[in-house]
Structures are given as structure tokens and as C-alpha cells.
Amino acid sequence: MSVLIRGRHPNRILLPTQEVAALTRLHQTDGAWTVPEMQSHLEVERYRQLVRQDILRCISTDIGPLILLTMNGQVAVFGNLKGSVSLITQQNRAYFRLALAHLGWSLPAPGGWSRGLEDYAKAAKAGRFHEVVTPEGNVLAAAKLTADGFSRKHYGRVVQRLKSTALAQDFEVYLITPNARRNHKLIERAASFLHVIQFRPELPEGAAQLIRAIRPSPHQKPPAPGPYLAGEAWRTDPRFRSLPTSVQNILQKTREERIAAALRSIEVDGVMSAAQLRSFYALEPADIPGVLRVETHLRTTPTQPASEQEVTFLTLSRRLARLDDHRLAHRCGTGRMRHLLNVPADPERWKAEHRGRLKLEEPDALYTSSKSIEIAIEYDAGTYRPATIERKLTTFNDRGFKIVWGVSNPVRQRKLAAEIGASLCHDVLLAEWWT
């Protein structure tokens, strides 16, 4: 048996049966491979060929390189994307697997005895937990590699939703993370049932520890100091005429003025994509002093496997650089909306990640117009269900906010324009922050 790969590749490539089996296990069971694991399945030259053909991809993580099956690889192996999951999920699945092997723990054998502990976690909506067999008995465990492990909010949710059940049913809960120093006071107070294990796999000898956020490389030659748009000819070019007025004004400024404007935007929005820095400021990451670059792969629309692509986030904050990829993407989407609305980068008028008293009262940003009207800014990456959208609209209206809604793809833009357009004070915005 061989699988024929068609599509954008000029040459047809055959995957032998043995490779199909190995890549199926990679995606459905292992999640991702370390470099030694990859070498146990593939010759190095064959691996490099599959990377060139975009069947496999190597990504940088806090525990070293991990190798995953790409979107194109899934189509090659399975014929479709029906079983597709996010790259973040695959990284965390691999991390959990590696942690269990390190600890000498295991999942219950198929059809074997189980205490049904996962049912307690599901009933409490406490997150993705698995029942795990340990020498001391079965426990409930979860692991998270991405975004520097579990957040304080997650720890608090676990304590709130599982403590009484764990104590009553006499089982323990373990969280496995690359950074156990976070939120240690909260963990200490929950020590009666909750335990946190720090785990970082040892890298192969000679391999360097990869860092998620790095400084951009400097320019090889000095950039031009003048305006990006000069004269009048650009005004008839559709590429530039379609840009927001504020962006057109920025592009007519000198390089130093554009750098200052980009810095203000990153400070106010928290995160900007490298693509947007180029499109809206005609600058490169190396132009921004103190900026951190986070390179990753993700689905720009989480519900659409075909939207998977390589992106680069820029931020001035190491705290933000540690956030989950989709949190960074959400920040970029909200910032893109600010640019499309011609709103200046003024922290007194634009509050990104505005926090209200309840979750549904939390717009992604709150903008106070020149007429002192408060406008709730909501970026929707395609994951909101109709009931969630309705609750948000109702809550924002009850608080007296006008509402602006943004989305990540044209199909959803048209759909929501028809369904909720009458509830908004502006047309539904298409905030493709990765372009």
C-alpha cells in the first residue's frame, strides 16, 4: 500500500505503508515526537524530505524541538482533515506522554480496571484530565507545556471544582508543568488533594535549550530613513487606497516616526504580528527596540484546519510572550480592529483586555470615543457559539456599551453581519491580523 500525495507539490510522492503507520501513530497517539523518537522511525534524510514537502514540521518549544504532522501531512496520511486537532493540543499531548514515561506512570489498559476518575473532572468542567495508574494508586492528572504551563486562573478553577469531590472520593489530583514555581502559595493551600510536578525532559547531549521569545536579528544594511509613501502616485494604487486613513498617514512619515508609532501601538495592544508591522508601518521586527519575537504555527481560525500557518508575534513583555498562541492571536485581532477603526494608540481611551466584574462583561477592549461614548470591542476567532454571542451582546447592552464585532474570516463576517448586524454600531470587521 502507498498513499499518493497530490496538491501544490510539483512531484508526486509515495508514502510507504510503514511510514503511513508511523505517521498515524504520531498524530493519533503520540501527538509529537522528540528528535530521538523521530530518528527511531525515519532516516534523517527521509525526515528532511518530508519537512521540505510540508508533511512534517519541527517547532521550537520550552522542552526542545518537537516534530508534528502538518495539515498537508494529515491529508496525505488520512485523506482528509476530519481528525485534525490543533498544534497546541498535540504539543501538550506529547508532553503528557513524555511526563508519564519519566514518572513510570501509565494510562489504564484498554478494558482494564478504572475508578472512573475522569467522569468527576468532566462533571466539574475542570479541564482535560486523565485517570493515571501510579504505584500508589490511580490518580487524576493533567499536563500542560504551552504558555509556560497552567495559569493562576486554571489552578483556581481546579481547586474550586475538584477539591470537595477529591476529598470525598479519596483521590489525588496532579498537574504536570515545566514551571512549578508559578502560583506556589495557591498550590500550598490546596495540598490536601492537589500536587504539582515540574518536568522538563533532558535534551540530547549538545542540543541547546530553545527559547520561545527571542530578539530579532539586526538589519544587514541600514534601512532608508525617509517616508514609505511619498508624493501622490500611491493614492491611485488599490493596495494603499484600501488602508485605514490612520495607516496611510503613518506610512507617509519618516522611518523614525513610524518606529515611534509602532512602539506606541505595541505598548497599547500588547502584541502585534510581524505581518501587520510590515503592512501598517513598513517596518521589520529589527526596527523595534526591545521587542521580543515569538515564532509559531497555529490555526488563524481555530475551527478551520486549513487555516494553519506560520506566524510571528511581537511584544515588549516577557509575560505576554509566555501566553498561549491563541491568546496572542486574540490580542493581535483586537489590535487589528483598533487600526481598522482609525483609533489612536492612546491608553487613556483604548483599554485592551478590559476586565469587568463577570466573564461575560469582559470585552476584549473598551474604547472611549471623543464624545465619551464607551464602545465594547469584541474579536471573534470563530469559536463563539450562538448562545455565547447572544449573552455577550445582551451583557454589553445592559452595561450601556455600543458594540463593535470583529472576525477572522469572510464567511463568518457575512454570517454575523446578517445575524447580529442590527445590534452593532459598526459593520462587522474582518480582522485578518496575520496579513
| pLDDT one-digit tens code per residue, 319-351 | 898 888 888 999 999 999 999 999 999 999 999
In a domain, 226, yes or no: yes
What is the rounded distance in angstroms from the CA atom of residue 274 to the CA atom of residue 248? 18
| 375 close to 366: Cβ distance less than 8 angstroms | yes
In a domain, 89, yes or no: no
**126 and 179 both lie in a single domain:** yes
pLDDT over 90 at 210, yes or no? no
In a domain, 175, yes or no: yes
User: Which of 32, 52, 84 marks a domain boundary?
Assistant: 84
Contacts with 57 (C-beta within 8 Å, 6 or more apart), sequence order:
51, 67, 68, 69, 70, 73, 297
**265 and 148 both lie in a single domain:** no
pLDDT over 60 at 3, yes or no? no
**Considering the chain, what is the average pLDDT of its residues?**
89
**274 and 342 both lie in a single domain:** yes
**390 and 288 both lie in a single domain:** yes
pTM of the model: 0.77
In a domain, 435, yes or no: no
In a domain, 207, yes or no: no
**183 and 292 both lie in a single domain:** no
**How far, CA to CA in Å, does 371 sit from each of 24, 77, 338, 340, 362?**
58, 57, 17, 19, 22
Share of the chain above pLDDT 90, in %: 68
**Residue length, the chain?**
435
pLDDT over 90 at 81, yes or no? no
**323 and 243 both lie in a single domain:** yes
**19 and 140 both lie in a single domain:** no
Higher-scoring residue by pLDDT: 13, 105 = 105
Number of domains in the chain: 3
pLDDT over 70 at 267, yes or no? yes
**105 and 222 both lie in a single domain:** no
What is the rounded distance in angstroms from the CA atom of residue 105 to the CA atom of residue 261? 53
**278 and 347 both lie in a single domain:** yes
User: Which of 198, 227, 245 marks a domain boundary?
Assistant: 198
pLDDT over 80 at 30, yes or no? yes
Which pLDDT belongs to residue 6? 38
> What average pLDDT does the segment 78-83 reach?
86
The 213-214 sheet, strands edge to edge: 213-214, 292-299, 308-315, 271-273
pLDDT over 60 at 136, yes or no? yes
In a domain, 49, yes or no: yes
| 377 close to 367: Cβ distance less than 8 angstroms | yes
CATH number of the domain within which 77 lies: 1.10.10
**153 and 270 both lie in a single domain:** no
| pLDDT one-digit tens code per residue, 379-427 | 999 989 999 999 999 999 999 999 999 999 999 999 999 999 999 999 9
> What average pLDDT does the segment 13-32 reach?
91
Which pLDDT belongs to residue 323? 83
In a domain, 95, yes or no: no
pLDDT over 80 at 134, yes or no? yes
User: Which of 198, 226, 244 marks a domain boundary?
Assistant: 198
Q: Looking at the DSSP assignment, which residues form a beta bridge with residue 174?
A: 141, 195
Which pLDDT belongs to residue 5? 40
CA-based nearest residue to 147, from 262, 274, 298, 285: 298
**55 and 172 both lie in a single domain:** no
> What is the residue range of 330's domain?
213-430
What is the rounded distance in angstroms from the CA atom of residue 277 to the CA atom of residue 287? 10
**275 and 308 both lie in a single domain:** yes
What is the rounded distance in angstroms from the CA atom of residue 290 to the CA atom of residue 71? 34
Long-range Cβ pairs for the range 150-158 (8 Å, 24+): 150/175, 150/177, 150/182, 150/183, 152/182, 152/183, 152/186, 154/127, 155/183, 155/186, 155/187, 155/190, 156/186, 157/126, 157/127, 158/126, 158/127, 158/190, 158/194
In a domain, 274, yes or no: yes
